[in-house]
Structure 1
Amino acid sequence: MSETATAPLQDHSDAAFDVFSRQCPSRGTLEHVTGRWGGLTLGALYESGARFNELRRRVDGVSEKMLSQTLHALERDGLVHRDAQLTNPPRVDYGLTPLGRQVAERLTALIELVEGRMPEVVEARARYDAAHGA
């Protein structure tokens, strides 16, 4: 476990956070949000809450282990809420917290921007590959 995961809780209510500082705890959260599986999981949950296997199908390519680790990290950061219902069989639903919803809203805007501008990206890649013999 990382140092920040085992460090005692501190009151950071008046602290200034700086993601560019290696000691800043915001760096880990940014990593969880912008990593491949974190970003896609938040984007999928922004559309609607989901059960684990629904998320796994929606986030094509993620393994069960990676999705589980991603959900745990996002839940620990306060972005995802896990609702375990004591039914038979057990049912676990995942959804966004209010903070998670704000983060996912901004992330979804970025996803839409990238998807909408992909023709330009594809052209840029082709030019680059042609110029660099790839």
Structure 2
Amino acid sequence: MKISHITMIAGLTLYSLSFFSYAESASPSLVEDCFNEWSSRGWVLGEDRTLASNIAVFKSGIKRVCALRAKLFMSGENISPYIQASMPEIAPYLYSAADEQSLITFIKRIEDRGDTPSFSGTFMRD
């Protein structure tokens, strides 16, 4: 964790904290492209079929995964910069406090499996 911004307002010091370092070394345009590609899929949640991109926690989690994928891709890993997981596979990671290493392990596991998406529940046991 690091302090990324300090603001003084009416004598109060406000800190903006950065909990993850992954975004610092990821290409912002690649992260945005990953997010836009994911948004175009139109994933929906719940009986009311709310767009996942309209749910703040889901949206920020996807951006977090996109940033990690971009970082891995740019560091020479054999990883697509785009999200490969299905919604049931990725959702537990978006709604949990998964650390960076857990997400990297998840991303690599999805990449290793190839083009045959399947959900066995094993991804939730990390």
Q: What TM-score, normalized to structure 1? A: 0.24
Higher strand share: 2
Larger Rg over CA atoms: 1
Higher helix share: 1
Q: What TM-score, normalized to structure 2? A: 0.25
